[in-house]
Structure 1
Amino acid sequence: MERSLETQVNQAVEAWLRWLPRWEPATHRGRVAPCRRCLGSPILSAAGLGSDVPHGVQHGLSTRIKTIVDSSVAQYTERNLPMLQAELDQQADRNRSRTYRPSEGLEPEFEGLPLDPDPVPGAPFLFTIAGMADEADAAVPALPPLTEDAKAALRQEVRLADEYASMVGREVCTILLRHRLRIQTAVAQYVEPQIAAMLEELTRSLDAPFDTGEGLPGV
């Protein structure tokens, strides 16, 4: 039996709540480019995860919820949009023939993030994971071209799929509102203390930038 949308969202939130105690602040250099999945996301707004919440915490939830929306749209497409489904099937077959697929099979906390860190000025990479993935993709033959009529029909089906995705997204946000208090309570319990500790440590280092931990002579 197909699970209801509410059941899927409930299970995704529960999975995120189980993961959250394992979250730790990143110690590496932050990224310059914003995450397109999380920036301005209505899902995060409904969940009560504002811009003051670390991106890693946001991304773990938004990715899990987006997977639910994508799955619902995929089922709708399979049932009602044959041309778009055929195009997606061809693209899926093409993707499976690639020899290198580093972005597949990732945990929700890492799905959709850039494959490589931001480059450091003056220190170019010898190679990048994204570059190797592009090389593997270039070796796979392109999909056959469409006629103008087929393109027009495909655009119509894409529009219908987008409208359905928006409808599912609104319903998902409504369901998330019911979990908002639990989500914010978990952030207060597991995330905010770690951020406060980082800020306290930063404050101490700024107050005494040259302090070696040894007292002054005669003190």
Structure 2
Amino acid sequence: MVVVERSLETQVSQAVDAWLRWLPRWEPATHRGRVAPCRRCLGSPVLSAAGLGSDVPHGVQHGLSIRIKTLVDHAVAEYTSDNLPMLQAELDQQAARNRARSYRPAEGLEPEFEGLPLDPDPIPGAPFLFTVAGLADEADAGVPALPPLSDEAKAALRQEVGLADDYANLVGREVCAVLLRHRLRIQAAVAQYVEPQISAMLDELTRSLDAPFDPNAEPGLPEL
């Protein structure tokens, strides 16, 4: 376990370093906000360990949570390959099926965009001519389904999935413990690069509310 802990510590440090290099390029989104919360970030213990609370913009949170998820997924994949042959065979078949798809828009994305919906939320009365997700579904429909499993195989697969989940939880707890040591520099970066932009947006909103009809009018003195 000591070797695993050292390996995870290095990987988490590298993930945080990569996120810190990206953070200065972050800008507040100007498009419509999404109605549905991000399932990867809402209530994430990783973000809690990193000190990124609900007052931090989701784009900032997502860039870090996906990087950490990637290294957890990699650790679980190694464990699965070494110890869970039935689950590994199932994953190999699914991977081969995915490679057979002619259109894979969700693959190869930067961490800041990975796992997010492929299309914006629709605007009532303005339907899309097509959607990226719809095109991906059409490509997926032409790929043969995986062969069915027997009841015995399903039971064995469920057991191996449970073992993989247990290992993922173990790795996740270790990762959160390591992230606690990075909280200060994570929060310092948010204070340097994120909070000033949020303050500027709030100041602009205040000015527009003070002068809703004339942006050049004196605050508090609306034009008659």
TM range (shorter): over 0.9
Provide structure 2 residue ranges, at least 5 long, that are not aligned to the other structure.
none
Choose which of 6, 10, 29 in structure 2 pairs with 1:7.
Answer: 10
Choose which of 200, 203, 213 in structure 1 pairs with 2:203.
Answer: 200
Provide structure 1 residue ranges, at least 5 long, that are not aligned to the other structure.
none
Name the structure 2 match of 1:191: 194
Post-superposition offset of 1:212: 4.3
TM-score under structure 1 length normalisation: 0.96
Stretch of structure 1 that moved more, 207-216 or 77-86: 207-216
Q: Work out the percentage of aligned pairs sharing the same amino acid.
A: 84
The 8 Å contact of residues 47 and 61 in structure 2, kept in 1 or not, is answered as yes
Q: Runs of 4 or more off by more than 2 Å in structure 1?
A: none
SS at 2:134 equivalent: helix
The 8 Å contact of residues 211 and 217 in structure 2, kept in 1 or not, is answered as no
Letter in 2 for 1:160: L
Name the structure 2 match of 1:78: 81
Deviation string for 1:25-66 (max 9, x for gaps)? 001110000000000000000000000000000000000000
Name the structure 2 match of 1:50: 53
Query: Superposition RMSD on alpha carbons, in Å?
Result: 1.5
Hey, what's the Cα distance between the residues in 2 that align with 1:10 and 1:212? 46
The 8 Å contact of residues 63 and 111 in structure 2, kept in 1 or not, is answered as yes
Name the structure 2 match of 1:29: 32
Name the structure 2 match of 1:118: 121
Count of matched residue positions in the alignment of Structure 1 and Structure 2:
216
Hey, what's the Cα distance between the residues in 1 that align with 2:206 and 2:32? 19
Hey, what's the Cα distance between the residues in 2 that align with 1:214 and 1:46? 46
Hey, what's the Cα distance between the residues in 1 that align with 2:215 and 2:25? 32
TM-score under structure 2 length normalisation: 0.94
Post-superposition offset of 1:116: 0.1
Choose which of 107, 122, 125 in structure 1 pairs with 2:110.
Answer: 107
SS at 2:130 equivalent: coil
Matches within 5 A, 1:114-193: 114-193=117-196
Hey, what's the Cα distance between the residues in 2 that align with 1:166 and 1:70? 11
Letter in 2 for 1:101: R
Name the structure 1 match of 2:62: 59
